[in-house]
Amino acid sequence: VDIINDMQRAFYDNEFKLYYQPKVDAKSKKIVGAEALLRWIHHEKGLIGPDVFIPISESTGFMLSLGKFVIQESSLAIRRFSDLGYNGLKVSINISTRQFQNTDLYQDLKEELSKNDVDPKQLGIEITESIMMQHIKKTLTTLQEIKNLGVSIYIDDFGTGYSSLSYLKKFPIDTLKIDKSFVDDISEVGNNDEILLNTILAMGKSLGLDVVAEGVEHEYQYSYLKEHGCEIIQGYYFAKPMPEEEFIKLLHEEH
Ligand code: G
Ligand code: G
Ligand code: MN
Ligand code: NA
């Protein structure tokens, strides 16, 4: 209960921040976008990760405020990136189950994007397979609206859920984000443990979807993914999630 009060306070004291983890083009190693990830910079306790506050937020409804904040903040950040000349960058935000089900996500996205004069093509939402598989009809309608707005749709942690191929085809999805567990299967010494990973890569290709690999930590993982047709890489091998100023510095260094 204490932490719930403290989260409310922290929200009004602006202690919640978005960090940005670069997504890199596999071939050129250039930054093509970023995933926005929430952090709580507590004035006494320091950095608190989302694994601590997201589950509590989700169970209390506070997630709806946080979710709206993420949409506002990411739109403002995209505006700032564009004003600095980085108008081709794509930023993705994570959408929680509760936020997807209990808010008008389409309306919220539309409003914030137009308020900040942001090209919807620069924003993506990351949803899990389990969100997709609940209330399928309504979900399909919502995703269709969001897609028509121009916002991209990513399936997060792909391969860990239960989405069937026919649903993947039916839903307006742009990108599969391969879960880290499949990237971890890549063997440094060629043990051929990559069957599931290869299947997901092939699936993405045959459905005409982009594929992003998450949790890439080693050079041999990066090389394997690049050689097997994965276009975009995200992971500590390139960069950890970082404050906006650091992300901008990284962009400047590249140009
Ligand atoms: O960011 P890691 O950096 O620790 O994130 C841990 C978990 O918290 C991940 O599952 C991530 O998707 C989730 N998460 C991080 N930021 C957000 C956010 O803004 N909204 C939602 N719904 N989940 C987030
Ligand atoms: O659930 P989601 O995929 O949104 O969460 C992404 C999570 O993965 C965040 O907690 C982020 O900080 C973390 N992450 C990103 N890259 C790496 C990586 O290379 N290794 C590990 N262990 N975690 C990573
Ligand atoms: Mn994610
Ligand atoms: Na993920």
Q: Note the pLDDT tens digit of each residue in 35-65.
A: 999 999 999 999 999 999 999 999 999 999 9
Q: Ligand 1 centroid to 96 CA: how many Å?
A: 9
Coil, strand or helix at 138: helix
Q: Ligand 3 centroid to 156 CA: how many Å?
A: 5
Atom of ligand 2 nearest to the CA of 177: 3
Homologous superfamily in CATH for domain 2-254: EAL domain (3.20.20.450)
Binned at pLDDT 50, 70 and 90, residue 1 comes out as low
Whether ligand 2 lies within 6 angstroms of the CB of 94 is answered as yes
- Does the pLDDT of residue 11 top 90, yes or no? yes
Whether ligand 1 lies within 6 angstroms of the CB of 96 is answered as yes
- Does the pLDDT of residue 112 top 70, yes or no? yes
pLDDT computed for residue 176 by the predictor: 97
Whether ligand 1 lies within 6 angstroms of the CB of 120 is answered as no
Atom of ligand 2 nearest to the CA of 128: 1
Binned at pLDDT 50, 70 and 90, residue 164 comes out as confident
Per-domain residue ranges for the chain?
2-254
User: Six-digit token pair at 112?
Assistant: 């914030």
Whether ligand 2 lies within 6 angstroms of the CB of 194 is answered as no
Residues 6+ positions from 253 with CB-CB distance below 8 Å:
none
- Does the pLDDT of residue 119 top 70, yes or no? yes
pLDDT computed for residue 190 by the predictor: 84
CA-to-CA dists, residue 129 to 8, 59, 109, 170, angstroms: 30, 20, 21, 13
Mean pLDDT for the chain overall = 96
User: Six-digit token pair at 144?
Assistant: 């269709």
What does the alpha-carbon distance between residue 200 and residue 22 come to, in Å, rounded to a whole number?
22
Question: What is the DSSP pairing of strand 232-233 with strand 210-213?
Answer: parallel
pLDDT computed for residue 162 by the predictor: 82
Check residue 120 and report its DSSP letter: G
pTM value surpassing 0.90: yes
Q: Are 214 and 178 in contact (CB under 8 A)?
A: yes
Whether ligand 1 lies within 6 angstroms of the CB of 243 is answered as no
ipTM of the complex: 0.97
Q: Are 196 and 215 in contact (CB under 8 A)?
A: no
Q: Ligand 4 centroid to 254 CA: how many Å?
A: 26
Binned at pLDDT 50, 70 and 90, residue 211 comes out as very high
Atom of ligand 1 nearest to the CA of 99: 22
Mean predicted confidence (pLDDT) in 18-40: 98
pLDDT computed for residue 70 by the predictor: 98
What does the alpha-carbon distance between residue 62 and residue 24 come to, in Å, rounded to a whole number?
32
pLDDT computed for residue 255 by the predictor: 81
Whether ligand 1 lies within 6 angstroms of the CB of 37 is answered as yes
What does the alpha-carbon distance between residue 71 and residue 244 come to, in Å, rounded to a whole number?
15
Binned at pLDDT 50, 70 and 90, residue 243 comes out as very high
Q: % helix / strand / coil in the chain, to the nearest 5? A: 50, 20, 30
> Mind giving me the DSSP string for 39-77?
EEEETTTEEE-HHHHHHHHHHHTHHHHHHHHHHHHHHHH
Taking the alpha carbons at both ends of the chain, their separation in whole angstroms is: 47
pLDDT computed for residue 207 by the predictor: 94
Q: Cα 63 to the chain's mean position, in Å?
A: 16
